[in-house]
Amino acid sequence: MFRLCALIAVFLLPISALAHSPDQDKDAAGMAPDAALEKLFADEWQARMDRHPFWASQRGLRDYDALVPDASAEAQQRFQREDQAFLERLSVIDRAGLTVSDRLNADLFGAVLEERLAERAYEPWRIPFVSDSGFHTSATMAIEAIPFKTIKHYEDYLARLSKLDGYVAQNIANMRAGLETGFTMPRAILEKVAPSFKALAVDRAVDSAFYAPFDTMPESIPETDRARLQKAAMDVLNQRLLPAWRGLYAFFTEDYMPAARDTLGVTSLPDGDAYYAMLIRQYTTLDLSAQEIHRIGLSEVARIKSEMEAIIDGLGFEGSFADFLEFLRTDPQFYAKTGQELLNRAAWIAKQADEKLPAFFKTLPRMPYGVRAVPDAIAPNYTTGRYWGPVDGVRGGLYMVNTHALDKRPLYSLPSLTLHEAVPGHHLQIALAREIKDVPEFRRAMYVTAFGEGWGLYTEKLGVEMGIYETPYEQFGRLTYEMWRAGRLVVDTGIHAMGWSRDEAVAFFTENSALSLHNINTEVDRYISWPGQALGYKMGELKLLELRARAEKALGDRFDIRAFHDAVLENGSLPLPILEQMIDRYIERETAATQTGSGAAASLRSQ
């Protein structure tokens, strides 16, 4: 397969074959290969911003603040043709005339395009949501991407609001196409998804999240303009957007839910076996079958459970494994009494981790992050916590903590959650990627699930070395989170390839982890609605642990954890086979530095 094999081939060629030739051939348009590649990257990036104006706004591109995406089926087909054309342009560029770094850029770019084309072949836009988010929540998150400091910001935002009803209509049309072709979300999870649609269908404009920016307008905007803009917002909301949200909720509950499929697994969809195989490759970057991943998951579950039982024995708890889980799920000592208490504890853990970062990383990002509660409108069926990336010119990264149903948010799991979502997990990795120099923009934005989520899970275990876990209960919470990710390998493949029922999936987590029943139900719905995505976490972590063990064995006393972590993160998000090649080269550099001095290491680095 090109996207992996071609990337690996770059690092297996002799150095002489990778050198930049002074006599570059011209491409079909008369451009040198490096110039043709640079233009291709720029053209695709422009197309990407045009397709995703919410995301463009989040990246600080103010020209997109008045726009909404074109979600129509016609637009999706056009995007398919455009991406195929980009791939064809890439194929005619003479790679022998590129530097090593440009060849890596070209191959990663090709991998992105091929993955996108492979997924679009199944027309996934017919299901434009998962259990806890979707096109509708993307629209609300896009509010935060606008600074709201000037009249122009508000006028652009009003223009965006006036177009959102069309965006909603396009997504309804896509969902209708899904109903007609049997490509729908399973009916079993839709009762819990419906509230996220209902939350937008409020009766009064002043109660809408989309009106909130007009409640806190800056003093620098004259009163007459404030009144004008507020009235315009009321008009747009009352006449266009709120009727659109109400129509969406009515469609979802009256048309979509009754007609949605009564099966669970993605393999029950048209061409579902091939679709799931594609999703496994996409989310793990590995060529593994569902059965192989299922077996790996069962093995990891058995190992982790033995470690959990050792902690229970060490605590002297009298009772069974199930009794201990019930104790953890019900004893008030393990739960915050207020949402603010939970947020305060999360922020405290995050600051403890911040202090310890220099001992484990040479390179740290400049971008800060904050801690916030998940918005009420989406919290009931939202995951326990999540990282929201920085918005240029507006805010840093956000570690989002779910404060809904506090009796289901145990404090003993909070250290693991914080390490994963904030630092040294997602914020550190994503912020560093955004700050990489001398790479095309798509590299800074690239996110490979197995890499990013594998890194997040790896950092949960790194927290042991960092001294973050203070009690046996917090260590058990860490193992519960690791069990959660190992269980995903079993449950995701069980549901989507082996005919598991929802009850079987819930029972598996209930019996093997200390997750609350609320979290278990929420997470199982997530795996049902988002096939394959949950596989990236544990598969990525296993590869990172394998690579660290390889480096420690090869370098012995010369192994430097800070240098290893820099080697993992310095190139941004990568497919796992390419990360493996990068770490092998890091081991070569470090070995050469010890054997022959820094000159040899510098020579290898320049290659």
The pLDDT of residue 29 is: 58
Residue 27 shares a structural domain with residue 103? yes
- Which of 90, 122, 154 is at the close of a domain? 122
The pLDDT of residue 4 is: 34
Domain containing 483 equals 276-340+347-358+408-538
Within 10 A of 594 (CB to CB), how many other CB atoms are there? 15
Residues 128/71, Cβ–Cβ less than 8 Å: yes
Query: Residue 529 above 60 pLDDT?
Result: yes
Question: For residue 176, is it within any domain?
Answer: yes
The pLDDT of residue 366 is: 96
Question: For residue 205, is it within any domain?
Answer: yes
Question: For residue 561, is it within any domain?
Answer: yes
DSSP code of 385? Answer: E
Residue 493 shares a structural domain with residue 592? no
Question: For residue 367, is it within any domain?
Answer: no
Question: For residue 401, is it within any domain?
Answer: no
Domain count, the chain: 4
For residue 445 the two structure tokens come to 């934005």
Mind listing the pLDDT tens digit for each residue in 478-501? 999 999 999 999 999 999 999 999
Residues 143/213, Cβ–Cβ less than 8 Å: yes
Tell me how many degrees the CA angle 561-564-565 measures, rounded to the nearest 5: 90
Residue 112 shares a structural domain with residue 168? no
At 382, the pLDDT band (50, 70, 90 cuts) reads confident
At 514, the pLDDT band (50, 70, 90 cuts) reads confident
Farthest CA pair distance, the chain: 78
Average pLDDT, stretch 312-338? 96
At position 359, the amino acid (one-letter code) is A
Residue 112 shares a structural domain with residue 143? no
The backbone torsions φ and ψ at residue 274, rounded to the nearest 5 degrees and listed phi first, read -65, -35
Question: For residue 45, is it within any domain?
Answer: yes
Residue 100 shares a structural domain with residue 40? yes
Angstrom distance (rounded) from CA 77 to CA 123: 9
Question: For residue 93, is it within any domain?
Answer: yes
Residues 289/214, Cβ–Cβ less than 8 Å: no
Average pLDDT, stretch 566-592? 96
Residue 532 shares a structural domain with residue 549? no
Residue 285 shares a structural domain with residue 165? no
Residue 247 shares a structural domain with residue 210? yes
- Which of 231, 262, 293 is at the close of a domain? 262
Residue 12 shares a structural domain with residue 79? yes
Question: For residue 381, is it within any domain?
Answer: no
H-assigned helices in 121-271: 135-141, 151-181, 190-198, 223-236, 242-251, 257-259
For residue 175 the two structure tokens come to 């969902």
Query: Residue 599 above 60 pLDDT?
Result: no
- Which of 238, 262, 286 is at the close of a domain? 262
Within 10 A of 454 (CB to CB), how many other CB atoms are there? 27
Tracing tokens 């999706």 back to the chain, one arrives at: 76
Give the contacts of 35 (CB within 8 A, at least 6 positions apart).
none
**Percent share of the chain, pLDDT over 70:** 93
The pLDDT of residue 572 is: 96
The pLDDT of residue 597 is: 57
The pLDDT of residue 516 is: 84
SS (H, E, C) 77-137: HHHHHHHHHHHHHHHCCCHHHCCHHHHHHHHHHHHHHHHHHHHHCCCHHHCCECCCCEHHH
The pLDDT of residue 98 is: 95
Q: What is the dihedral of CA 6, 9, 14, 19, to 10 degrees?
A: 30
* Length of the chain in terms of residues written: 607
Residue 17 shares a structural domain with residue 85? yes
The pLDDT of residue 399 is: 98
Residue 87 shares a structural domain with residue 190? no
Beta bridge partners of 385: 401
Mind listing the pLDDT tens digit for each residue in 21-63? 333 445 545 789 999 999 999 999 999 999 999 999 999 999 9
Angstrom distance (rounded) from CA 374 to CA 382: 8
For residue 186 the two structure tokens come to 């399973």
Mind listing the pLDDT tens digit for each residue in 327-369? 999 999 999 999 999 999 999 999 999 999 999 999 999 999 9
- This prediction has a pTM of 0.89
Query: Residue 118 above 50 pLDDT?
Result: yes
Tell me how many degrees the CA angle 65-67-73 measures, rounded to the nearest 5: 145
Residue 15 shares a structural domain with residue 148? no
